[in-house]
Amino acid sequence: MSISQNIELARESAIGREGVSDTALSGALKRSEAALDWLRARHADGGLRLLQLPAERADIASVQDAAKRLKAGATDIVFLGTGGSSLGGQTLAQLAGYAVPGVGSLRDGPRIHFMDNLDPASFGALLEKLPLATSRFVAISKSGGTGETLMQTMAALSACKAGGLQSKIGELFLGLSEPVKGGKRNALRDLLEPEGVAFLEHDTGVGGRFSGLTNVGLLPAAILGLDIVALREGAANALAPVLANKPAREVPSALGASLSIALAESKGKTISAVMAYADKLEKFAKWYVQLWAESLGKDGKGTTPIAALGPVDQHSQLQLFIAGPRDKLFTVLTTGVAGKGPKIDAELAKRAHEADFGGKTIGDLVAAQGRATAETLAKNGCPVRTFHLDTIDETSLGELLMHFMLETIIAAHLLGVDAFDQPAVEEGKILAKKYLAG
Ligand SMILES: O=P(O)(O)OC[C@H]1O[C@](O)(CO)[C@@H](O)[C@@H]1O
């Protein structure tokens, strides 16, 4: 295991009445045994594809090949897709420097653009400024029918055609969507295949928000030079305790889910705030928000996820976190940054009235801040669980993603909701299409 979870600062015995009682936690852990049995059964019968992914290697070569083809001669690679068709990829890409606050644009290699939000100004500017002949477009949609992705793809196609690149569309574009089956139409395929665009197949058994470790997330990761097998190996580390038939309290994902739901049910902690102390985990927190929200928010149930980044959000949300309503469970993620980064000159530190900064590294301060935030929250009666990753690499990130996917599935069992659908978002989509047509 390359990550460790600690829930001690979320217990009533440690922080007082706002913490989880032993009785409530034990009750939820007991109920989560059924979820673990279900996961083990689905792993054995292959009924939940997500659980096969950690051991899957058959698709690695096709992802590597596609990455190599896309990268050849490319100045820019544009990912078209939204929600789960983008966030997993962004999370992995950030490990290789994509969109790391402040320094993402300094990365070597092709520029990477994830156009996950639809905005006419951004997309218009992108198409105007991109060197289209050396750009590649990857259109990702499990269903093939998401309006935002179709709009982006059509606009990009038209721009390339207008730029005299009609004969090159097959080289410039790649699609990633479910295969057509049962006569069901797939709009993305209908749009791109007649132009000679090849497709990678979206795993039919893995929903968008759970697809970060399929080719949806692994393709951008491979383009950015990450070790995609190590991502899967990391995921196996999170799955191993589930499969090892351990009791729920020894399975980190079951313990996390039980803590969360026990605190929601017994102490009204209806908000789950994740605060990561690493720029490279900023997208991870956004990915978590979609995963938790779309999987659990059903039938009047669910808890509301919040993403925060440390230390910067100490200067933004922390006041509310510590002194606002007592409705949150905090998850603080720290990494082994002590001793890392630029070292501070002692003389300069004195002149800045911070003599104690002298001889310390930036990582020393960030490590101290992560620890201090968790302890301050706890001292103020706010339940906190901590995660520590010594290194943020492919193995630990793969483990982290799988941990949270398992935790979400187990939490859904505890709440009695279906983790894998999202019926409520369909209503707005239908109405938006009606307004557009009218
Ligand atoms: O991959 P698709 O089918 O384009 O869907 C994109 C996103 O839209 C949703 O279906 C609904 O918002 C998400 O669940 C999904 O990740």
Query: What type of residue sits at position 293?
Result: A
2: confidence class by pLDDT, cuts 50, 70, 90: confident
Pocket mutation for ligand 1, best pick of 90, 141, 142 (most atoms within 8 Å of C-beta): 142
Average pLDDT, the chain: 97
Q: pLDDT, tens digit, for every residue of 19-78?
A: 999 999 999 999 999 999 999 999 999 999 999 999 999 999 999 999 999 999 999 999
How far does CA 38 lie from the centroid of its chain? 24
Question: Measured in angstroms, how far is the CA atom of residue 17 from the centroid of ligand 1?
Answer: 40
Nearest CA to ligand 1 atom 8: 83
Between helices 147-162 and 423-437, what is the axis angle to 10°?
A: 50
Does ligand 1 lie within 6 Å of residue 82's CB atom?
Answer: yes
- ipTM of predicted complex: 0.98
Pocket mutation for ligand 1, best pick of 79, 80, 82 (most atoms within 8 Å of C-beta): 82
Nearest CA to ligand 1 atom 4: 141
Helix (H, G, I), strand (E, B) or coil at 77: strand
Q: pLDDT, tens digit, for every residue of 72-102?
A: 999 999 999 999 999 999 999 999 999 999 9
Question: Measured in angstroms, how far is the CA atom of residue 250 from the centroid of ligand 1?
Answer: 33
- Read out DSSP for 111-175? EEEEE-S--HHHHHHHHHHS-GGGEEEEEE-SSS--HHHHHHHHHHHHHHHHTT-GGGHHHHEEE
Ligand 1 atom closest to the CA of 177, numbered from 1: 1
Ligand 1 atom closest to the CA of 87, numbered from 1: 16
Diameter of the chain by CA atoms?
73
For residue 119, pLDDT over 80 is answered with yes
For residue 340, pLDDT over 90 is answered with yes
The residue behind tokens 């001669």 is: 73
Question: Measured in angstroms, how far is the CA atom of residue 277 from the centroid of ligand 1?
Answer: 28
Does ligand 1 lie within 6 Å of residue 212's CB atom?
Answer: no
Question: Could you list the active site residues?
Answer: 294, 315, 429
Q: Which of 220, 229, 234, 216 is nearest to 1 (CA)?
A: 234
For residue 375, pLDDT over 90 is answered with yes
Q: Give the Cα separation of 253 and 250 in Å (integer).
A: 9
φ, ψ at 115 (rounded to 5°): -95, 70
Between helices 22-45 and 228-243, what is the axis angle to 10°?
A: 120
User: Which CATH fold would you assign to the domain 53-229?
Assistant: Rossmann fold (3.40.50)
Question: Measured in angstroms, how far is the CA atom of residue 29 from the centroid of ligand 1?
Answer: 31
Polymer length in residues for the chain: 438
Query: Do the beta carbons of residue 224 and residue 93 sit within 8 Å?
Result: yes
Q: Name the residue ranges covered by the structural domains of the chain.
A: 3-41+230-423, 53-229
CA angle 340, 346, 349 (to 5 degrees): 90
Ligand 1 atom closest to the CA of 146, numbered from 1: 4
- SS percent in the chain: helix, strand, coil, step 5: 55, 15, 30
Pocket mutation for ligand 1, best pick of 91, 146, 427 (most atoms within 8 Å of C-beta): 146
Helix (H, G, I), strand (E, B) or coil at 273: strand
Q: What is the mean pLDDT of residues 155-165?
A: 98
Q: Give the Cα separation of 212 and 305 in Å (integer).
A: 19
Question: Measured in angstroms, how far is the CA atom of residue 422 from the centroid of ligand 1?
Answer: 9
Does ligand 1 lie within 6 Å of residue 19's CB atom?
Answer: no
Does ligand 1 lie within 6 Å of residue 211's CB atom?
Answer: no
Query: Do the beta carbons of residue 130 and residue 76 sit within 8 Å?
Result: yes
Q: pLDDT, tens digit, for every residue of 207-259?
A: 999 999 999 999 999 999 999 999 999 999 999 999 999 999 999 999 999 99
Helix (H, G, I), strand (E, B) or coil at 271: strand
Does ligand 1 lie within 6 Å of residue 84's CB atom?
Answer: yes
Span 3-41+230-423: which CATH code?
3.40.50.10490
Helix (H, G, I), strand (E, B) or coil at 73: coil
Asked, colleague to colleague, whether 3-41+230-423 and 53-229 share their fold, the answer is yes
Both tokens of 289, joined, read 């928000």
Q: Give the Cα separation of 194 and 186 in Å (integer).
A: 13
Query: Do the beta carbons of residue 237 and residue 272 sit within 8 Å?
Result: no
The residue behind tokens 């606002």 is: 324
For residue 116, pLDDT over 80 is answered with yes
Distances (CA, A) of 325 to 10, 111, 322, 381: 16, 42, 9, 11
Instruction: Report pTM.
Output: 0.97
Q: Is the dihedral of CA 253, 258, 263, 269 positive or negative?
A: positive
Pocket mutation for ligand 1, best pick of 79, 80, 85 (most atoms within 8 Å of C-beta): 85
Query: Do the beta carbons of residue 194 and residue 153 sit within 8 Å?
Result: no
Strand segments (E) across 293-342: 304-309, 328-335
Does ligand 1 lie within 6 Å of residue 297's CB atom?
Answer: no
Query: Do the beta carbons of residue 214 and residue 379 sit within 8 Å?
Result: no
279: confidence class by pLDDT, cuts 50, 70, 90: very high
Query: Do the beta carbons of residue 62 and residue 215 sit within 8 Å?
Result: yes
